[in-house]
Amino acid sequence: MIEDHELDIWREQWGSVAESSPEFQRKIQQRIKLQERRFLLGNVLSAVALMGILVFAVVIRHQASWLGTGWATGICVLVFVSAGYRLWVLRGTWRPEIQSTRAFVELWHRRVLARLQLLRISIYVAVGWIITCAALTAANWTTLKPDVKVHPTDWFEVLLASVLMQPVIWFWAAWLRRRKVAELNEVKKTLHEMDGVPD
Amino acid sequence: MSENRRALEQQFGRILGEHGAAISRLAYSYEVVASVREELVQEIALAIWQALAHFRGECSERTFVYRIAHNRGLTHVWRRRAPHQPLHDLEESDEPADPRPHPEAQAAQTNQRARLMSAIQSLPMTHRQMIVMMLEGLSHAEMGEVLGITENNVAVRLTRARKALKDAIGVRP
């Protein structure tokens, strides 16, 4: 009886914590419209970016050197392999919302692990891409050399930009990895808490 | 606008009307900062809207809402990892308006509510989820459906969570 009374008091206190605001539904409707527009815009931009990359690849393919062919092939392989690998790694990790909390936590654990795996592979791919570009430039040096002599400043700027981009990319990757590792630790903690009571 | 979309919007509006306050209260257990909490409530509502089209009545509507709300709350905590702030330090605007005329009684009630909220916030996540559902009046079967555990397990966890809450309220000023 005492415990029920205690529960009634808690419920009364809890019930007065938050009331439904009349503005709530209007804000949600606005948020939904915004989200739907963002989703549509995101899909359109992704499609345009993909098409742009492929058109660029086709255009440089027609340059009369190994450089154009190499880059075109490299870009196509990079785009399709990355997209395919991403779909493969993230398979089965979509639409987790309706599931029970237990199933959701397990699914999110797999999802974070998949994201970390993607991040690791992305770093290898980035390094591989730099090596490929360097190798292509070296292989085509005889073709490129006259242009470098005519426009040394332009080539220096390209080289400088490429070098300066590296620390930015590495910093971003390290920051993202730290965040994902922290998220993984939190998910593991929740899983551990859930396993605390045997079924 | 299609008939299907209109029906979904009506269902969504009804769900928000019935469970809107409960969602707001649940968000209190996951987020202390008022502005961020409002964002979380909107995220939960948005997730309900997105999942509604795929809801085929595999569970009750209440279970459906609580599953999504808890799952979103968890994601919020995992991603944000905000340091815990005691709820009794909340600014005045965070407290709902209390229309009762006696200031002393109102202050006492506000203090007790703040202690309860602070104690809930200090609990481990699984205890917190059990307590919130208990306070919202969910049955053991519904809690089991939301969390994906058996009713026996719910009873064991609820006893532990309730004891932890009493201890937490006891040690708080």
**Burial bucket for residue A2 (CB in 10 Å: 0-12, 13-18, 19+):** exposed
Q: Is B78–A27 a contact, with Cβ atoms under 8 angstroms apart?
A: no
| pLDDT for B96 beyond 80 | no
Residue A98, pLDDT > 80, answer: no
Nearest to B63 by CA among B133, B125, B13: B133
Reported as a pLDDT band with limits 50, 70 and 90, residue B3 is: confident
Q: At what angle do helices A101-139 and B140-147 cross, to 10 degrees?
A: 10
Q: Is B141 on the interface with A (CB under 8 A)?
A: no
Pick the CATH number of B1-81 from 3.40.50.300, 1.10.3720.10, 1.10.1740.10, 3.40.50.720: 1.10.1740.10
From A18-27, B75-84, B92-101, B151-160, the region with the lowest mean pLDDT: B92-101
> In this predicted model, what pLDDT tens digit does every residue of B6-21 receive, in sequence order?
888 899 989 988 998 8
Percent of chain B with pLDDT over 90: 46
> What architecture (CATH level 2) is domain B104-173?
Orthogonal Bundle (1.10)
User: What residues of chain B lie within 8 A of the CB of A27, using their CB?
Assistant: 42
**Model pTM?**
0.76
Main-chain phi, psi angles of A59, to 5 degrees: -60, -50
Q: State how far the Cα of B35 lies from the Cα of A197, in Å rounded to an integer.
A: 35
Higher pLDDT, A172 or A31: A172
Q: What does the DSSP 8-state code read for residue B89?
A: G
- The answer, for B124 touching chain A at a CB cutoff of 8 Å, is yes
Q: Map out the domains of chain B as residue ranges.
A: 1-81, 104-173
3-state helix, strand, coil in chain B (%, to 5): 75, 0, 25
- Between B8-22, B74-88, B156-170, the lowest mean confidence (pLDDT) is in B74-88
Task: Please determine, for residue A3, whether its predicted confidence score (pLDDT) is greater than 60.
Answer: no
Please indicate if any CB of chain A lies within 8 Å of the CB of B67: yes
Question: Given this model, what pLDDT does residue B88 score?
Answer: 42
- Cβ pair B79:A24 closer than 8 A: no
Best mutation site among A32, A37, A100, A102 for testing chain B: the one with the most B CBs within 10 Å?
A100
Q: Is the pLDDT of residue A198 over 60?
A: no
